[in-house]
Amino acid sequence: MMAKKSKLPVEKLGAKPIPVRIVNDSPSPSTDKSYEARERKYRAEDALRTMKEMKKIESDKGLMRDAKALAKEEMNKLKKIC
């Protein structure tokens, strides 16, 4: 037989919620020119890192051979689906 669950005593609060206005001092990214410049620079730096990594991969003949073989496998799998 299960024991009866008892309710815990709850104290009712008489206070009313206080309205709060949330203020955001930072400018909107879509209108902030410096934000756009920083974003563009970040994307350029990321692209440069990617190109450097690709040059390293291209110079490793064994890795390129393995990557091409894997790409071929993936294409064959996709051909079965599409």
Digit-coded pLDDT (tens) for 7-53: 777 777 777 778 888 877 666 666 678 889 999 999 999 999 999 99
Determine phi and psi for 36, rounding to 5 degrees.
-65, -40
Give 71 or 13, the one with higher predicted confidence: 71
Give the type of residue at 1: M
Say whether 64 sits in a helix, a strand or coil.
Answer: helix
Tell me the mean pLDDT in the region 46-74: 96
Residues 26/20, Cβ–Cβ less than 8 Å: no
Radius of gyration (Cα) for the chain, nearest Å?
Answer: 30
CA triple 40-41-42, angle to 5 deg: 90
